[in-house]
């Protein structure tokens, strides 16, 4: 079930509420902090867009695997949750312009004797990905011969790599960077191989997903995105989470 954060229900005389869905389990992009508050890059971007577009917004915490079906079922109005704009997703939803870009990358434990990242290199290993992600789609298409475990959420995927349940994982580079650089558990592991860019599966960046019929909201969000990128707002949010630009 979705969880609403600080709901602001509207009456007929009030500005309608725009409901923004995030997973809440994908740091540093979206997560629940120790005070049970929603935080992260996605959250700050969404707040800036709502302020710029003069939208009255509330956040909804939504489990990832049903996040698109529940958007289409009108449970909320937009997804701002690091969703890559893949060709498959574009068949179901409309996206804004991209608001950041990130490749995918393999990660292994330090000192692992893994020669490379081609399918032949991994055939005798245990491979991990997260459910309903572009990384899972990529693994199914290009690593079908590799024993693969699909985990419910990224924290479960990272834990499996630490405890040796899997030998190598595929993840969004910016998301896993925070875990590698800023957590004790992540110090166990490192990137393996080059960045992976595939526009068919990973799309051309992360965008905000909307129902195809919501053309007015699409226009407002694209205009707001252009505005925050033209000024200092986007770069200030970027610098809060990353020491490099993710545009």
Q: What is the pLDDT of residues 149-202, one digit of tens each?
A: 999 999 999 999 999 999 999 999 988 998 999 999 999 999 999 999 899 999
Q: Where are the domains of the chain?
A: 3-101+204-241, 104-199
Q: Which residue has the tokens 């499996």?
A: 160
Common-topology check for domains 3-101+204-241 and 104-199 = yes
Alpha carbon distances (Å) from 128 to 11, 58, 119, 125? 46, 33, 13, 10
Nearest to 84 by CA among 169, 192, 206: 206
pLDDT of 96 higher than 90: yes
Distance of alpha carbon 237 from alpha carbon 43, whole angstroms: 10
CATH number of 104-199: 3.40.50.620, 3.40.190.10, 2.60.15.10, 3.40.50.300?
Answer: 3.40.190.10
Burial of 122 per CB tally in 10 Å (0-12, 13-18, 19+): buried
Give the residue-averaged pLDDT of 89-113.
96
Distance of alpha carbon 49 from alpha carbon 36, whole angstroms: 23
Residue 25 pLDDT: 93
Alpha carbon distances (Å) from 178 to 10, 112, 185, 207, 241? 37, 21, 11, 20, 9
Residue 203 pLDDT: 87
The CATH code for residues 3-101+204-241 is 3.40.190.10
Mean pLDDT score of the chain: 93
Backbone angles phi, psi at 54, to 5 degrees: 55, 45
Distance of alpha carbon 36 from alpha carbon 237, whole angstroms: 21
Q: Which residue has the tokens 């949750």?
A: 81
Residue 3 pLDDT: 62
Give the residue-averaged pLDDT of 51-79.
98
DSSP string, the chain: --EEES-----TTSPPEEEEEE-SEETTTEEE-TTS-EESHHHHHHHHHHHHTT-EEEEEE--GGGHHHHHHTTS-SEEEEEEE--HHHHTT-EE-S-SB---EEEEEETT-----SSHHHHTTS-EEEETTSHHHHHHHHH-TTS-EEEESSHHHHHHHHHHTS-SEEEEEHHHHHHHHHH-TGGGGEEEEEEEE--HHHHTTSEEEEE-TT-HHHHHHHHHHHHHHHHSSHHHHHHHHH-SS---
pLDDT of 80 higher than 50: yes
Structure confidence by residue, pLDDT tens digits, 210-222: 999 999 999 999 9
The whole-model pTM stands at 0.80
Give the residue-averaged pLDDT of 21-45.
96
Residue 72 pLDDT: 98
Q: Which residue has the tokens 């449970």?
A: 75
Q: pLDDT class for 69, splitting at 50, 70, 90?
A: very high
From 4-8, 141-145, 168-172, 177-181, the region with the lowest mean pLDDT:
4-8
């Amino acid at each position: 079930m979705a969880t609403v954060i600080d709901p602001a229900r509207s009456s007929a005389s009030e500005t309608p509420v725009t409901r923004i869905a995030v997973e809440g389990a994908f740091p540093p992009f979206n997560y629940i902090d120790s005070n049970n508050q929603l935080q992260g890059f996605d959250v700050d971007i969404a707040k800036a867009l709502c302020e710029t577009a003069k939208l009255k917004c509330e956040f909804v915490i939504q489990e990832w695997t049903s996040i698109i079906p529940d958007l289409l079922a009108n449970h909320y109005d937009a997804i701002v949750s690091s969703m890559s704009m893949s060709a498959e997703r574009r068949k179901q939803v409309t996206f804004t312009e991209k608001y950041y870009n990130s490749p995918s990358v393999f990660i292994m434990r330090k000192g692992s004797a893994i020669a490379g990242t081609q399918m032949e290199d991994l055939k005798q290993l245990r491979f991990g990905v997260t459910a309903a992600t572009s990384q899972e789609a990529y693994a199914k298409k290009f690593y079908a011969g590799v024993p693969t475990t699909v985990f419910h959420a990224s924290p479960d995927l990272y834990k499996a790599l630490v405890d040796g349940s899997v030998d190598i994982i595929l993840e969004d580079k910016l998301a896993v960077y925070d875990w590698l650089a800023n957590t004790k558990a992540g110090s166990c592991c490192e990137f393996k191989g080059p960045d992976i860019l595939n526009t068919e599966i990973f799309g051309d960046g992360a965008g905000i997903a909307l129902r195809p019929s919501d053309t007015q909201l699409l226009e407002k969000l694209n205009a707001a995105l252009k505005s925050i990128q033209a000024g200092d707002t986007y770069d200030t949010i970027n610098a809060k989470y990353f020491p490099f630009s993710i545009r």
